[in-house]
Structure 1
Amino acid sequence: MKAHVGNLAEFLLDRHDVRIYAPASKRLRGEGLDKLVQVVGRPVPIRYNDSVAPVGLNPRIIYRMKRQLNDWGPHVTHIHEPLAPWVSMAATVAGPMPKIGTFHAWSTGDRVYRATAPFIRKIVGDLKVRVAVSPSAQSFASQALGVPTGQFRILPNGVDDTRFAEAEPLHDLVDESRPLLLFVGRLEKRKGLETLIKAFLRLRAQGHHLRLVVVGEGPERERCQSLVPPSLRTEVLFVGAVSHNDLPRYHASADVFVSPAMGGESFGIVLLEGMAAGLPVVASNIPGYRTVMTDGVQGRMVPPGNAVALADALEALLANDKLRKAMAAEGLRTSAEYAWPVVGAEVEEMYREVHRAHVSDLQ
């Protein structure tokens, strides 16, 4: 969601006055998109949906958000995850009209939402448009709020396809005799890195001289590294978090993008980034990923948590250069449908519609 908000702001910046309100743990430098961010409170890590969400829990944020938004007076207030405390929730309740809310989350557990549904419905009652980034997010938000799915407009996340398509490879990683698998994501259980490592070890045991690079940081890093035997640790590179500019270079160096997530994904933005880089994709067959990918078209989809099926899918792709190229070409076509000039224009038109309706209502 953070990348989505930042990329959307960058797309709009040439034509609009844009500000981003968010909690931050350190002072921002005021360079690039940082200069758009109005810091309201410090984030606190909260476990949710088998992940960790940084949210602002200081109640004073509610007052700050109300004061800052009303002093600025935006024509449209776009709130991402309107029920997240307290920055988003404060903007949803106290921010100036008209307001749009985008729901990003998907989960198999919504007990908290169901228990507080009457209260929640009041909070989101002033939203002029309710947006979901995918059918999965739409279904989850609909059930959680107890409202029909027809009350949501689907507008997907966007991908900066040009940045990935034009990246130069990291020459130290390029080796045509040893294919490179790429994983990108927070190192937590739901991202499925353990499944990928088991599949990788299975393929190595079968004589395949492939390598794996892991981009990302998180609580599972040490445990996942320990799964790799010492004899293969030079073949599995854990690089940690990388910069915005360097990330596409890892994609440009790889042969296959792999995302073995266990669930909890409402959308497949990491898949689209892999596709935009011209890579075939092997991913878990989960609802959020099926939003952007079809098994056998842009790559292969396998049951989550099944290391044998993942290894078999990777082996089939690595053995067939013609198939990899065909799937990569389909991926490029798919990623172009989600490029920011396409998605951003839809969001911008939604802003215009909502603002025009609001002005009309005031007359």
Structure 2
Amino acid sequence: MLVLIAHPGAELYGADRVTLESAAGLAAAGHDVIAALPEDGPLVAALEEHGVRVIVTRMFVLRKQLLRPRHWLTLIASAVGGFVDSWRLLSRHRPDAAYVSTVTLPHWPLLLRLRRVPTVTHVHEAESGSPWALRAFLYLPQLWSHVVVANSRFTADLLRRSLPALRRRIRVVLNPIPGPAQPPPLRERLDDIRIGYVGRLSPRKAPDVVVAAVAALRERGHDARLDIVGDVFRGYEWYSAELTQQIAAESLTEVVTMHGYDADVWPHLAECDVMVVPSRTDESFGNTAVEAVLAGRPVIVSDLAGLREAVDGYPTARAVAPGDIAAVADAVEELVGRWSEVTAEAQVAAAAAATRHSTAEYHRRITATIESVAGMQDSGENSHGRVSS
């Protein structure tokens, strides 16, 4: 069948990589896959490698800044233009089923329902700290989807609490996270401590906390160093500038390396001893935390529900209070203090994570979900809407 994928970006961060694996699974199963994206970027070439046809088209993407009153005219213009172009795209290609990635494409579920296209939405967003009304508003368009895939139990629970009408449509499918074929061994002796951060540069992701923790470790007498892999989202260039100023103010210029964005994170992880995922606010799931485990690296995460779920059961993971610089430094010291045990546990944890986040299993489950939805003839309120995990 012809499957349309709608995705709000073209980079290769968390949700982008999950969408790539969804497309790869569908293509491997023999389906014809078209991906509609609002811009060009590294995701385009990655999709095309799997035989996916990519269409770059005008598309309405709901960004937080558009919700501010001074941006409402831009929001309306973008919504109208995106709806028109998306309608034309559907008229031209007439897909048999659709996969909509994230809740930031609110017009797609309604548009697809109007065109009688069976639809699966994949939800990656779970901001439990937001007011109920805002969460319900963001999730409301998913009522037009036949099935809603949640990337974690935490996301599924928040969906149910925010909009109980979605309850019977939700399925939990853990993110596919392919790791290195053979995790590189940890160093046996640590003359210095190499700490790593991978992800967006933003206040929410909080790499500034890791920078401050490195400064604290150096004050305690440790030769701590930091590698930062990632870049800002458009509009957050100010945060990158502040991060650079912080590094200089802490006299860390010689020991902190800013690598920028790199789609291949594994060489960077291989050079680190400990990874940190210091998010300040809720994460629906922690892909980067799992990547650290897959790479055979101990990881320190913020004590948030989605991140706790991501590292649950791995002996090399530690959870600390969000934004607690001293706690991050303490956790690094604790891991280094029992380094021989950590090195033994790391390979076991990597093997467990590889099984839990198998791309083959993800391909099977997401493809089966879309194939089952494509067979629906009603509104989706049947046995296909049950919750699974």
Q: Report the TM-score when normalising by structure 2.
A: 0.77
Q: Alpha carbons of 1:198 and 1:84: their partners in 2 closer, same or farther (altered >3 Å)?
A: same
Q: Alpha carbons of 1:350 and 1:105: their partners in 2 closer, same or farther (altered >3 Å)?
A: same
CA deviation vs aligned residue, 1:189-217 (integer Å, no higher than 9, x gap): 11121221121111111111121001112
SS state at 1:232 partner: coil
Say if 2:176 and 2:358, in contact at 8 Å, map to a contact too: yes
The counterpart of 1:46, out of the listed 58, 63, 71, is 63
Count of aligned positions:
342
Structure-2 separation of matches of 1:352 and 1:312: 49
CA deviation vs aligned residue, 1:144-176 (integer Å, no higher than 9, x gap): 334264541111221122xx345889xxxxx96
Structure-2 separation of matches of 1:311 and 1:266: 25
Q: Alpha carbons of 1:32 and 1:262: their partners in 2 closer, same or farther (altered >3 Å)?
A: closer
Partner residue of 2:199?
185
Aligned-pair CA distance for 1:223: 1.5
Letter in 2 for 1:66: W
SS state at 2:165 partner: coil
The counterpart of 1:62, out of the listed 83, 95, 108, is 83
The counterpart of 1:314, out of the listed 332, 337, 340, is 332
Q: Alpha carbons of 1:269 and 1:300: their partners in 2 closer, same or farther (altered >3 Å)?
A: same
SS state at 2:222 partner: coil
Aligned-pair CA distance for 1:47: 2.9
Aligned-pair CA distance for 1:2: 1.6
Unaligned runs of 5+ in 1: 50-54, 170-174
Structure-2 separation of matches of 1:93 and 1:83: 17
Partner residue of 2:356?
337
Once superposed, what is the RMSD of the aligned Cα atoms?
Answer: 3.2
Q: Alpha carbons of 1:326 and 1:59: their partners in 2 closer, same or farther (altered >3 Å)?
A: farther
Partner residue of 1:172?
none
Partner residue of 1:78?
99
Structure-2 separation of matches of 1:142 and 1:92: 23
Structure-1 separation of matches of 2:267 and 2:17: 17
Structure-1 separation of matches of 2:100 and 2:109: 8
Letter in 2 for 1:57: S
Structure-1 separation of matches of 2:196 and 2:97: 39
Aligned-pair CA distance for 1:231: 4.2
Say if 2:183 and 2:347, in contact at 8 Å, map to a contact too: no
Equivalent pairs: percent with the same residue? 22
Letter in 1 for 2:122: T
Structure-2 separation of matches of 1:37 and 1:167: 33
Say if 2:269 and 2:292, in contact at 8 Å, map to a contact too: yes
SS state at 1:19 partner: strand
Partner residue of 1:16?
31
Tell which deviates more after alignment, 280-289 or 291-300: 291-300
Letter in 2 for 1:78: Y
Structure-2 separation of matches of 1:177 and 1:165: 28
Aligned-pair CA distance for 1:336: 2.6
Letter in 1 for 2:206: G
Q: Alpha carbons of 1:70 and 1:145: their partners in 2 closer, same or farther (altered >3 Å)?
A: farther
Partner residue of 2:130?
109
Unaligned runs of 5+ in 2: 1-14, 67-74, 381-389
Partner residue of 2:256?
236
Residues 1:350 and 2:364 aligned together: no
Higher relative contact order (CA 8 A, sep 6+): 2
Q: Report the TM-score when normalising by structure 1.
A: 0.83
Residues 1:271 and 2:285 aligned together: no
Letter in 1 for 2:360: P
CA deviation vs aligned residue, 1:29-63 (integer Å, no higher than 9, x gap): 974425632112167783379xxxxx993412212
Say if 2:118 and 2:376, in contact at 8 Å, map to a contact too: no
Say if 2:266 and 2:295, in contact at 8 Å, map to a contact too: yes
Partner residue of 2:6?
none
